[in-house]
Structures are given as structure tokens and as C-alpha cells.
Amino acid sequence: MQPEVTLHLSVTEGRVAVLARQLCAAPGGVSNWEHVEQAPPDPIIGVTDAWRADPDPRKLNLGVGAYRTEEGKPYVLRAVREAETQMLADPASNHEYLPISGNADFCRLSRTLALGAGSAALQEGRVATVQALSGTGALRVGAEFLAQHLPASNPRVVYLPSPTWGNHKTIFAKAGFQVREYRYFDKASRGLDFGGMTADLSSAPPGAVLLLHACAHNPTGVDPSPEQWASLLQTTHDRQLLPFFDSAYQGFASGDLDADAASLRLFAASGMELVLAQSFAKNMGLYGERAGALSVVCRSKAVATRVESQLKLVIRPMYSNPPMHGAAIAARVMGDPRLNAMWKEELKGMADRIKAMRSALYRELTARNAPGDWSFVLKQIGMFSFTGMTRPQCELLVKKWHIHLTLDGRISMAGLSAATAPYLAEAIVDVVTSA
């Protein structure tokens, strides 16, 4: 038989087989996924999808939480590129399994970066650290560990700021925590509702977990002042809350790695136990490589050793051991003095550009007599700004001006440039006066 005929027949047979399967599939059997509903699309990712599909040349993507250059391009840090080049050239490099707890150098360097070399907790060896899949992975492993190992008398309750990164709630809920909110963002001032925050935390049950954004709160950009942090420390101590820091923007907020770690170090210096999730997604631009670390600051070295062993028991049935590439890059960048210096300079450059965008937007809004007080644009910190725009106003921004953002009014300053700031200002003035 001609080969084409044989092929044709086999394709036909295949089609008949498909039909047979579909006709004979057991109805109501467990292999039938009829009852599986389509999950709602992720709101943040949906913004980038919509932006991509938008044909208008003026379109802006203010949704994604990834740094963009003035030209609107993603940015791979020079220090990261060099680290990768070194790794590729190293004849000893391989793809062997990391230990369950990950790259030891990376873990050591990460926690030192966060806690500071002078940290008593580090010097006393009482910090348990494991490599994690960026911030999400650190939060999840930490939450699972706490759910399992907090004393029985501790309620499995976590307090999250209102608002917070959407995934926080899902992560803690999956780990078995009941999620409660504490007041945080004050709509009127677009600043911190410190009174509300303190009141809510003061009435939290003892032993509850308290999630804190170390700096550059996501999505609002509103951070407590140093005095407010000191007061929060007192409240945390008085109510015996367990602080769980989410640090995703160290170095990105002010441009200074140490300054951005002040809140965390304040709490650690008090001697209290705390949990820390670190991400290198933004501050090293390692987004897709999933480089992060989870640290648990304990009262003693002996406790830290036991805690680390239990963190490994959470990790092993989840993914066995962490991905090596991102952590290897980060370890090189942090550990090599020249690369470290290069990194700090680039980090400051990124933070400065964000600040420049804030200035630019504020200037343009003021020039157009935008109604109300927009100084919060300058005061808010980090990549995001919570504009306080209503949902209808945001929808108008999308539909009429082709400016894509999440409908909670959060804009990513990283998506702006000096050239596009005027356009955004014009659009904002339009929607807040008409919608």
C-alpha cells in the first residue's frame, strides 16, 4: 500500500477511536470532569493579557508588578548577566540536586542581607533558613509550618492588612489559617489608618500571626513611619502576636538595602521570634527564576535546628528541593564584592527611576489642576500607587484611554516613562472629573 494511504487510514482509525471513546465514556464516572468549574482568571495577569490584545498605540500597561525601563522594556541586571556568564564558564558547574533546604550560601547571604551582619540572632546562630520559590513559596512553606507546629493554644488565625496582595489570603487559607483583616489603608488621606490598625491589632487574640509588609506595601505603597513601626512593635509584643514579614522590595523602596530593612531589624533586635519571607524577584530582577528564602528567627540555636528540620518535612512532599538557577545567581551577586557593588548601583538606579516617575506624574497632575490632593503620589513608596480611583473611573481609563490597570485603582509606576506621564495625568484628570 502507498505510504500516504496507510497514513490516511491510520488517521481515520484514530478519528474513529476518538469517537468511540467519546461515545462510550462512562457517564458520571470519576474520570469525567464535567463537575470541574472554570476557575476565575487571575485579575493581575488578566491586565497584561488585555494590554497585549489592545491595538491602540497609546496603550499603557500599569498592571504588572515588574520593573520596566524608560523604554518600557524588561530589565535584566548587568550584575545578574555577569553572574550567569560566570556560571556558564565554570567547568565545575552541573545540575545536581540541591539539598532540601536549598543552596547554603544563598540562604546564609539572604538572611544576612535582611537581618544585617550585626544581627544578634544571626551571630547566635538562631535563625533557621531554607531556600524557597520566591516570596510565594516562602509564605506557603512558612504558613504550613506554623499551622502544623504552633502550640495548640495558638489560634490558627492570621491578620492581613486591608488591602493586601491578593495571593496572601489564598496562601494562608490553603495552609489552614483563618484570615482576618486589620485596617490599613485610609481612603480619605490615601495614607495609613494607624489608629484603626492599632485598634484592630490590640484586639487580636494572643498568639495570632501578624503579616507585615517590610516596606513598599503592595498594593498601596503606604508604609508606617519609623515612629509608627516602633509603636507596632510594642503592640505586637503586648498582644503576643507572631510577626510574619513579607519582604519583596528590599532595596527597591528607598534605593538603600539597609534602610528598607529597618522595620524587620527593629523587630528582630527586640529579641522576639519572627518569620520572614524574602523575594529576589524584583530587587534582582529574577522574577521567573523563583529565588526566595524563608527564615524563622528563634529563641535559641537548638530550637532553630529543630525548626529547620521541620521546614524540610514541609518542602519534601511539595517539590523535594528548590530550583537551583536563580539562587545560584543571587548567591554570586551577593557574595562577590564587585557584583554586589554593581547590583546596589543598579538597584538604586531602578528605585530612582520609580521616584522620578512619581515626581513626573505629580507634576503633570498639578499642571492640569487635578482635583484634590495628589501629594500621596510622592509620599507612597515603591512600585505601586493606590490612587483611590473608583472602579467606574478605572474602567473608563481602560476603555477610553487604553490605560490598563487593576480595577482597585492600583497603578504600577514602573510602567510609566517621562514620555507617558503627561498622557496618564491627562487621563486621570479626565476620569476623576467625569466618572
Catalytic residue numbers read 165, 246, 282
Q: Which stretch binds another protein (CB under 8 A): 21-29, 340-348, 365-373, 424-432?
A: 21-29
* Interaction between residue 110 and another protein (CB under 8 A): no
Q: What is the rounded (10 degree) CA torsion for 38, 45, 254, 194? A: -40
Q: How far is the CB of 73 from another protein (least distance, A)?
A: 8
Q: Of the candidates 84, 336, 395, 408, which one interacts with another protein according to CB under 8 A?
A: 84
**Is the Cβ of residue 9 or residue 76 nearer to another protein in the bound state?**
76
On whether the CB atoms of residues 353 and 410 are closer than 8 A, the answer is no
Q: How far is the CB of 434 from another protein (least distance, A)?
A: 35
Q: How far is the CB of 336 from another protein (least distance, A)?
A: 19
Q: Of the candidates 9, 20, 367, 418, which one interacts with another protein according to CB under 8 A?
A: 20
* Interaction between residue 390 and another protein (CB under 8 A): no
By CB under 8 A, the residues from 129 to 158 that bind another protein are 133-137, 140, 149-151, 154
On whether the CB atoms of residues 168 and 188 are closer than 8 A, the answer is no
Alpha carbon distance 291, 310 (integer Å): 21
Q: Of the candidates 100, 211, 334, 396, which one interacts with another protein according to CB under 8 A?
A: 100
Q: Of the candidates 1, 24, 117, 188, which one interacts with another protein according to CB under 8 A?
A: 24
* Interaction between residue 127 and another protein (CB under 8 A): no
DSSP per residue over 384-412, as a string?
EEE----HHHHHHHHHHH-EE--TTSEEE
Q: How far is the CB of 430 from another protein (least distance, A)?
A: 31
HSE, side-chain direction, 13 A CA sphere, residue 315 = 26
Q: Which stretch binds another protein (CB under 8 A): 189-197, 266-274, 343-351, 420-428?
A: 266-274
- Count residues near another protein (CB under 8 A): 104
On whether the CB atoms of residues 404 and 63 are closer than 8 A, the answer is yes
**Is the Cβ of residue 40 or residue 337 nearer to another protein in the bound state?**
40
Which helix H or strand E contains 274, and what residues bound it?
strand 274-279
* Interaction between residue 199 and another protein (CB under 8 A): no
* Interaction between residue 418 and another protein (CB under 8 A): no
* Interaction between residue 94 and another protein (CB under 8 A): yes
Alpha carbon distance 217, 224 (integer Å): 9
Q: Looking up cell 524540610, which residue turns up? A: 312
Q: How far is the CB of 143 from another protein (least distance, A)?
A: 9
Q: Of the candidates 12, 43, 56, 74, which one interacts with another protein according to CB under 8 A?
A: 74
**Is the Cβ of residue 37 or residue 373 nearer to another protein in the bound state?**
37
* Interaction between residue 15 and another protein (CB under 8 A): yes
Long-range pairs of 52-60 with CB within 8 A, sequence gap ≥ 24: 54/402, 54/404, 56/402, 58/401, 58/402, 58/423, 59/402, 59/403, 59/404, 60/402, 60/403, 60/404, 60/415, 60/416, 60/420, 60/423, 60/424
Q: Of the candidates 1, 3, 5, 30, which one interacts with another protein according to CB under 8 A?
A: 30
Q: Looking up cell 494511504, which residue turns up? A: 5
**What is the distance, to the nearest Å, from the Cα of residue 195 to the centroid of all Cα atoms in its chain?**
26
Alpha carbon distance 287, 121 (integer Å): 29
By CB under 8 A, the residues from 273 to 302 that bind another protein are 273, 281, 285-290, 296, 298-300
Q: How far is the CB of 433 from another protein (least distance, A)?
A: 36
By CB under 8 A, the residues from 304 to 363 that bind another protein are 305-307, 309-310, 312-314, 316-326
Q: Looking at 239-300, list the stretches that DSSP marks H as alpha helix, in order from N- to C-terminal side.
A: 257-260, 262-269
**Is the Cβ of residue 21 or residue 187 nearer to another protein in the bound state?**
21
Please name the residues in contact with 399: beta carbons below 8 A apart, sequence gap of 6 or more.
none
* Interaction between residue 3 and another protein (CB under 8 A): no
Q: Looking up cell 481609563, which residue turns up? A: 397
Residue 115 dihedral angles phi and psi, to the nearest 5°: -85, -20
